[in-house]
């Protein structure tokens, strides 16, 4: 077992606290001790970053490894699963460059996400910890998303959830409403009923997995919350009534602001399908007010980007989401960091392993450039040159 002592000038723990001038003692993959004047074995390697900020690795629980940020998601139908997997491993390698050490794939085709996970775990590529949800669970005909697990009625939904759990899903992704990216559904139209969503959430909870639900519109969002789904994904527009329900039911909120923000900048380029432009124009003006109200109400935020969707590219998008939580949503820099560390880990049921820099957890750490502090300027994380070291499971995987 290798021993490493990392000295930090400022330590951002990930739970809202910071520590000054502390050392982190790492044994193998895990953090063994945190404090000052630590006594370590003689073979311990010392890395002195006492003039730098150290923070947890960033977590993005919402990417789509089958997509690459191109302007027409429908084009993925032209690719074989084998080609998607090859492209997918290239895409996730980019994430480590930007300090993303854990990622959740929020629905993919066939076994593509699991193939990417296996390639990472076997050391074939330098990628982040990768947690797929498997296939998105939808009503019959509900989504034009390749490889959806279609189910109708509570019993059939239980069957679908159990299938994804059996395939190795790390969480369960549900489509509560239609989608922007689907040519055959409208975003605000509710699909699953409360009893169906509740059956899915309960089935996931049996095996200690979280449920996430894609939802737009008052009805679909309300159904998601009342059903006990753990994470509301997108959630636009977010009414005051639904915010109060989220507080009552302790629903976490993943607004995925960046995917709409980046896409709307390109509406006049002529590359996006017309149906996507039309639906984004309906939703984008409603996002800021809902997110701001959620932040004011103290709703717990979770980072999630939808990376792979049009103009939402792998890497920079994750830290840009954190910036938009601050700039458009009115969150503090610390709240945005918690959303991309502790809360994101909770949404993947791995908060006992990652998300904060604490004893017993995996040594997933970022060492930032001299003079760079995301608590003072959250945008610094969007420049990968500001992330000088990336540690994953106690090993340096990126060094600049």
Model confidence over 283-321: pLDDT tens digits? Answer: 999 999 999 999 999 999 999 999 999 999 999 999 999
Mean pLDDT of the chain: 96
pLDDT, residue 165, reads 97
Q: Which residue has the tokens 């311990």?
A: 44
Phi-psi group of 323: left, alpha or beta (phi > 0 → left; psi -120 to 50 → alpha; rest → beta): alpha
pLDDT, average across residues 79-102: 96
Q: Are 217 and 188 in contact (CB under 8 A)?
A: yes
pLDDT for the residue 183: 84
For residue 75, pLDDT over 90 is answered with no
pLDDT at 262 over 80: yes
Separation of alpha carbons 155 and 200, rounded Å: 9
pLDDT of residue 70: 87
**How far is the C-alpha of 207 from the C-alpha of 363, rounded, in Å?**
26
Q: What pLDDT does 24 receive?
A: 98
pLDDT at 284: 95
pLDDT of the residue at 99? 98
What is residue 275's three-state secondary structure?
Answer: helix
**Mean predicted confidence (pLDDT) in 242-256:** 98
Which domains does the chain possess? 3-56+356-399 (2.30.40.10), 58-347 (3.20.20.140)
Helices (H), 51-144: 81-97, 112-121
pLDDT at position 78, please? 86
d(CA 366, CA 222): 38
**pLDDT number for residue 280:** 95
Phi, psi of 60, rounded to the nearest 5 degrees: -125, 100
The answer to whether 140 and 191 have CB atoms below 8 angstroms apart is no
1, pLDDT greater than 70 = no
Task: Give per-residue pLDDT as tens, 180-217.
Answer: 988 888 999 999 999 999 999 999 999 999 999 999 99
Q: Report percent pLDDT > 90 for the chain.
A: 92
**What CA–CA distance (Å, rounded) separates 152 from 396?**
47
Backbone torsions φ then ψ of 18, nearest 5 degrees: -130, 150
pLDDT digits (tens, 9 = 90+) for 127-146: 999 999 999 999 999 876 66
CA atoms within 13 A on the CB side of 171: 25
Indicate the angle between helix axes 194-206 and 218-226, nearest 10 degrees.
40
Rounded to two decimals, what is the model's pTM? 0.96
């Amino acid at each position: 077992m290798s021993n490493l002592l990392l000295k930090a000038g400022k330590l951002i723990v990930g739970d809202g606290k910071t520590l000054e001038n502390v050392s982190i003692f790492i044994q193998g993959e895990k953090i063994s001790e945190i404090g000052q004047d630590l006594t370590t074995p003689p073979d311990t390697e010392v890395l002195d970053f006492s003039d730098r900020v150290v923070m947890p690795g960033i977590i993005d629980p919402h990417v789509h490894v089958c997509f690459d940020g191109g302007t027409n998601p429908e084009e993925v139908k032209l690719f074989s699963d084998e080609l998607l997997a090859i492209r997918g491993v290239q895409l996730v390698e980019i994430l480590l460059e930007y300090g993303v050490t854990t990622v959740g794939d929020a629905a993919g085709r066939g076994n593509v996400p699991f193939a990417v996970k296996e390639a990472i775990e076997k050391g074939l590529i330098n990628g982040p910890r990768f947690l797929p949800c498997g296939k998105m669970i939808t009503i019959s005909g509900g989504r034009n998303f390749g490889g959806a697990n279609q189910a109708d009625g509570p019993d059939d939904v239980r069957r679908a959830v159990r299938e994804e759990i059996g395939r190795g899903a790390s969480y369960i992704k549900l489509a509560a409403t239609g989608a922007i990216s689907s040519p055959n559904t409208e975003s605000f139209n509710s699909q699953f009923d409360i009893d169906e969503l509740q059956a899915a959430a309960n089935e996931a909870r049996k095996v200690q997995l979280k449920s996430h639900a894609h939802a737009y519109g008052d009805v679909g969002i309300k159904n998601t919350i009342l059903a006990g789904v753990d994470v509301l994904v997108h959630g636009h527009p977010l009414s005051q009534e639904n915010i109060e329900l989220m507080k009552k039911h302790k629903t976490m909120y993943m607004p995925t602001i960046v995917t709409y923000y980046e896409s709307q900048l390109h509406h006049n380029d002529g590359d996006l399908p017309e149906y996507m432009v039309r639906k984004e124009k309906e939703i984008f003006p409603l996002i800021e007010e809902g997110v701001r109200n959620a932040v004011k109400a103290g709703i717990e935020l979770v980072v999630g980007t939808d990376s792979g969707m049009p103009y939402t590219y792998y890497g920079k998008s994750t830290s840009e989401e954190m910036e938009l939580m601050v700039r458009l949503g009115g969150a503090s820099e610390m709240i945005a960091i918690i959303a991309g560390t502790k809360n994101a880990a909770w949404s993947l049921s791995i908060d006992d392993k990652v998300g904060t820099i604490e004893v017993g957890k995996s040594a997933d750490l970022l060492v930032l450039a001299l003079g760079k502090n995301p608590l003072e300027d959250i945008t610094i994380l969007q420049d990968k040159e500001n992330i000088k070291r990336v540690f994953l499971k106690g090993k340096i995987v990126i060094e600049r």
